[in-house]
Structure 1
Amino acid sequence: MRGPHNLLRLIRTGATFERTGAMGAVLDAMEAPPRLRVAARILGWPFRWLGYKGDPALPPITRAITALGPAYIKFGQILSTRADVVGVQMADQLRMLQDRLPPFPTEQAKEIIQTDLRQPVDLLFSEFSEPVAAASIAQVHRARVRETGREVAVKVLRPGIAGAFRRDIDAFHFAAGIIEFLSPGSRRLRPRDVVAHFEATVTAEQDMRLEAANASEFAENTKDDPGFAVPRPHWDLSSRRVLTSDWAEGLPMGDRAALLAAGHDVSRIATRVIQLFLQHALRDGFFHADMHHGNLKVAANGDVLAYDFGIMGEIDEYTRRIYAEILYGFIQRDYRRVARVHFEAGYVPRDRDEAQFARALRAVGEPIFGANASRISMANLLAYLFEVTERFGMQTQTQLILLQRTMVVVEGVARSVDPQLNIWDAAKPVVSDYIKSNIGPSALAGDMARVAQTVGRYGPLLPRMVEQALWERAHPEDARRIQPVVIRRGAPVWLAVALALGAGAAIGMVLV
């Protein structure tokens, strides 16, 4: 229920940061001005006693976030990839949120497996380890299938996780409503839609059967991608709360020192991570939307291994083309083109000045080109991007939230592996290939073929549609008394005729 009781939850959030000592660290990372620091302390200190104590053994920020619950942990996982935004020290503290949270007892995990799979764990697996990784949603055990001897990872959903997420998201909805009420200008960012999108995402993540389906489809899409591997799910050993998949052996993507010690080319790996993400997003429209360090490994042969497919992103073909055009325009430093695409897609209101928007985009892109990657302040860049979106009245595009968020996370992961990585250089070959094959005459021919196929499926209905429309025009009184079968009442004759002629033209063009 999104009632005022959530106000206590929000107050408790600030109080927890104050009580655990995380408030000062957050303000330091934000480089907050003195007035904001004073205001935060004045508002937070009186309610300090309401905050959760957390685990004193953890660093302050991690202590506060883990005490607050899984939804906050998810947000912390995103920030953990952005050392260039929150600082190296905070990023290191937050990284443990990816897979090193306190686990729940192994016996409890075995009970869940036995209940869902209807067999004791000892009959299913000849070996079953203590938790090897624990995150916000579930924890993982290393096991060996008794029947086949195959080594697998068994992921078990945390008990009570659904209720915990519901409480957090309920408070987020309440906060989004308050923000929109108190700050009408924030409505262009659509905070309530963003929270609703987040809610749908994490709800789906709590069903391991959907994750198994995601892994299966993703593996099918990427089976021919060189230097990339996806563990396959074991359907007979999976359920709503349990997912069993192949074991992925490799070094953690976040351990740069270990990668260097093993002789891996970190520059190649970082570039490959960026390119794989773009290939999956642009080519397939189906991509891993939770690509933080904890979900990536590097195999002994240098392959990138991805796992944990609870959150996947999906974008339609039109949006993929828009996204590719924007990226390509930045790569080519053609800011007029980038601006024009934004206006054509409706991302920027028509009453704004396209030339001014292009100059604002130039101020975003130019500092990146030719600059040493380690000298680029992503925090300043993101802050300026926010100013640009506000100045030009751009609304949040909910269909792009996962794509944009994952792009930020993936770049953060890649730059942690290779601090000198330039994202535009890495992206150029993938985006250029996509533009060549999907925008132009060949793409138009493919579009027309799909139009013909779609219209062709309705071909048998077209004569009836024309006949129905003509009869309604000739007998309007009778038409008002009965329910038409194919076309709703009052449809003009020209619509049915146009459909018929359009179908013939489309099919003819394809045949020619």
Structure 2
Amino acid sequence: MRGPHNIWRLVRTGATLERTGAMKVILDAYDAPPLLRFAARVAGWPFQWLGHRGDPAMPAATRALTALGPAYIKFGQILSTRPDLVGEDLARHLRVLQDRLPPFSRDIAKATVEHELDKPIESIFSEFSEPIAAASIAQVHKARLVETGEEVAVKVLRPGIEKAFRKDVDAFYLAATIIEFLSPASRRLRPSDVVEHFDGVVRGELDLRLEAASASTFAANTEGDDGFRLPAVRWQESGRRVMTMTWAEGVSLGDNDALDAAGHDRVKLGEEVLTLFLNHALRDGFFHADMHQGNLKVAADGAIIAYDFGIMGHIDEYTRRVYAEILYGFIKRDYMRVALVHFEAGYVPADQDVDEFARALRAVGEPIFGMDATRISMGRLLSYLFDVTERFGMETRTELILLQRTMVVVEGVARSLSPQINIWEVARPVVEDYIRNSLGPRALARDLRKTAEVLSRFGPRLPMLVERSLMQQMTSLDPKRTAPRGRRLLWLGLGAIGGAAVASAAALMLG
């Protein structure tokens, strides 16, 4: 629940922020108004003795969130992707948050497996290692299946983690409500929506069946991608709190010395990481949103292996097309095209000046194109773009937050492999190919075919739906005006049916 009982939890948070020195850092980064500053200090300063000390070696904000526990660490990582909300300096500090906690015992993990799968663990695994990786939500063990002898990775949730996260997330909702009340200017940044997005991400990570489903969907989408593979989900050995996947053997993508020793081409790997991500985001609209080096390996044959599918991004087809048009416009340095796309998509209010907006976009793009290849960044471009659109009244697009954050991470991975990589040269063919396939005649035929398929499913019900709508509208009208209005509604209904027929016929002809 999001009620007053969470106030004490916020007090504890405020006390920790004060005790670690993070309160001033956060308020300054947020440029908080006086009323919000006063409320925050009142909530924390008198109760400092209740707060956690944290590790003095860490920067203040990192120290506080690490001391407050798993939910705060996760939330800090999300905020690190939002320099538009917390400022560039604080975002940089938050990016070093490590999602690592001490492991819990192997006996507890084995008991969780037995309870979740309702079988003695000896009947499932002939070997079950000590934890090989431990994060804030779950830890991983290496095991061997009794049935096939195959090596697998077993991910097990921490005991009591669901309840602990729920309490903290409820407090986050209350904090967002208070911030929006005390600082009306913050509403444009939609703090409650940011918390809701975080809540959705965490809920997905706390049910490993959802992660398994994401991995399965991702595998189906990328089955034809050369040089890319995923471990397979073992559904019979998986459940809500346990997920089992085939073991991924390879060299960590973050270990350049090992990659060189194995004879892998790091320049090629850097280009492939970026190309794969753009294809998954634009072509499929479903991408791995946590693509850092710790979740990527390179197999002996040079294929990139991705794992840990707790955070996945989804973009609907329309938003993908808008995003591709924006990127393509910047690549071509056609700023008027980028401006018009923003207006057509409704991202910028119609009462704004499109020419002035295009000039503002030029001020974003030209300095970036003047940089050398090692400094060009699509992630930085999107960040600058958010700043400009804010001045023109565009609200924060929550569906693009995760994309922008992942773009920054993927670019970082690519540059760690190949510092001289030219991001635009790698991205251009991917974006151009998507533009050709999604905005040309073939795309129109596909759209019409999809429309025809939907209409064919609803076809038998269309007359009934039109009749019901007509009756509802006519019964609510003044009797003296029923006849002419009824005729207009009848023609509207017939027009809808006729339009459906035309769309169906066009789709068949184009198909």
TM-score bracket for this pair, using the shorter chain length: 0.7 to 0.9
Deviation digits for residues 87-118 of structure 1, max 9, x if unmatched? 99968953x42xx4311111111110011112
Corresponding position of 1:510: 507
Aligned partners of 1:471, 1:177: CA distance in 2, in Å? 42
Gaps of 5+ in 1: 33-37, 481-488
- Does 1:393 pair with 2:393? yes
Q: Which residue is equivalent to 2:34?
A: none
Alignment partner of 1:495 out of 487, 492, 495: 492
Partner of 2:136: 136
Matched, 1:190 2:187: no
Question: CA 1:353–1:59 in 2, change beyond 3 Å: closer, same or farther?
Answer: closer
- For 2:102 and 2:370, the matched residues in 1 are separated by 44
Shift of 1:340: 0.9
Q: Secondary structure at the match of 2:318?
A: helix
Contact 2:15 2:50 in 1 (8 A): yes
Q: In 1, distance between residues paired with 2:294 and 2:465? A: 56
Structure 2 residue identity aligned to 1:305: I
* Map of 2:174 onto structure 1: 174
Match of 1:312 in 2: 312
RMSD between aligned alpha carbons? 3.9
Q: Say if 1:81 and 1:413, in contact at 8 Å, map to a contact too.
A: no
* Residue number in structure 2 paired with 1:402: 402
User: What SS is found at the alignment partner of 1:309?
Assistant: coil
CA change 1:470–1:418 in 2 (3 A) is closer
Residue 48 of structure 2 is aligned to residue 51 of structure 1: no
Per the alignment, in what secondary structure is the counterpart of residue 139 of structure 1?
strand
Q: Larger deviation: 285-294 or 187-196?
A: 285-294
Residue aligned with 2:153, SS: strand
For residues 299-448 of structure 1, what are the structure 2 equivalents within 5 Å?
A: 299-372=299-372, 374-375=374-375, 384-448=384-448
Contact 2:71 2:165 in 1 (8 A): yes
Alpha-carbon distance in structure 2 between the residues aligned to 1:470 and 1:58: 63
* 1:129-152 deviation per Cα after TM superposition (whole angstroms, max 9, x unaligned): 111111121100011111101000
Once the two structures are overlaid, the 10-residue window that deviates more, 303-312 or 366-375, is 366-375
d(CA) in 2 for partners of 1:415 and 1:91? 21
Does structure 2 conserve the Cα–Cα contact (< 8 Å) formed by 1:81 and 1:412? no
Match of 1:313, SS state, is strand
Cα distance between partner residues in 1 of 2:354 and 2:440: 24
Q: Secondary structure at the match of 2:291?
A: coil
* Contact 1:130-1:141 within 8 A present in 2 as well: yes
Which runs of 5 or more structure 2 residues have no equivalent in the other structure?
32-36, 479-485
- The answer on 1:460 being equivalent to 2:460 is yes
Q: Distance in 1 between matches of 2:223 and 2:65?
A: 37
**Identity rate of aligned residues, in percent?**
62
AA matched with 1:292: H
Does the C-alpha gap of structure 1 residues 170 and 478 become closer, same or farther in structure 2, counting only changes over 3 Å? closer
- The secondary structure found in structure 1 opposite 2:114 is helix
CA distance in 1, matches of 2:284, 2:76: 28
Pair 387,59 (structure 1): closer, same or farther in 2 beyond 3 Å: closer
Aligned 8 A contact 2:376 2:422 in 1: no
Q: What is the 5 A alignment of 1:288-299?
A: 288-299=288-299
1:203-256 per-residue CA deviation (whole Å, 9 max, x = no partner) reads 122111111111111111111101111111101100110000011122223334
Once the two structures are overlaid, the 10-residue window that deviates more, 1-10 or 451-460, is 1-10
Supply the AA of the counterpart residue of 2:490: V
Q: CA distance change for structure 1 residues 86 and 226 in 2, over 3 Å: closer, same or farther?
A: farther
Structure 1 residue 456: Cα displacement: 2.2
Match in the other structure for 2:243 = 243
Mapped to 2, the partners of 1:234 and 1:141 lie a distance apart of 15
SS in 2 for 1:393: coil
Question: Corresponding residue for 1:483?
Answer: none
Shift of 1:378: 9.5
Name the CA distance, whole Å, in 2 between partners of 1:462 and 1:433. 38
- 2:154 is aligned to 154
Alignment-derived partner of residue 486 in structure 1: none
Matches of 1:304 and 1:286 in 2, distance apart? 18
Residues 360, 256 of structure 1: CA spacing in aligned structure 2 closer, same or farther, 3 A cutoff? farther
2:379–2:407 CA contact under 8 A, matched in 1 = no
Amino acid at match of 2:492: L
- Aligned-pair CA distance for 1:163: 1.6
Measure, in 2, the Cα distance between the counterparts of 1:177 and 1:12.
18
Secondary structure of 2:73's aligned partner: helix
Aligned length: 493
Q: Secondary structure at the match of 2:131?
A: strand
Amino acid at match of 2:265: D
SS of equivalent to 2:368: coil
2: CA distance, partners of 1:369 / 1:470: 55
Kindly indicate whether the alpha-carbon contact (under 8 Å) linking 1:82 and 1:412 is maintained by their aligned counterparts in 2: no
SS across alignment from 1:433: helix
Match of 1:35 in 2: none
* Worse-superposed segment, 132-141 or 282-291: 282-291
Q: Which has the higher contact order (CA 8 A, sep 6+)?
A: 1
Partner of 2:113: 113
Change (3 A) 1:310 1:103: same
How far apart are residue 158 of structure 1 and its match?
0.9
The farther-off stretch of 275-284 and 386-395 is 386-395
Please give the TM-score of this superposition, normalised by the length of structure 1. 0.84
Distance 1:476 1:138 in 2: 59
Q: Distance in 2 between matches of 1:470 and 1:126?
A: 64
Q: Tell me which residue corresponds to 1:268.
A: 268
Indicate if the aligned counterparts of 2:325 and 2:341 stay in contact, CA closer than 8 A: yes
TM score, norm. by length of structure 2 = 0.84
Pairing 1:68–2:68 present: yes
Residue 434 (structure 1) shift: 0.4
- For residues 192 and 180 of structure 1, the distance between their equivalents in structure 2, rounded to whole angstroms, comes to 8
**Aligned mates of 1:357, 1:300 — CA distance in 2:** 50
**In 2: Cα distance, 1:413 partner to 1:62 partner:** 22
Shift of 1:410: 2.3
Instruction: State how far apart, in whole Å, the 2-side matches of 1:450 and 1:380 are.
Output: 36
Distance of 2:488 and 2:356 partners within structure 1: 44
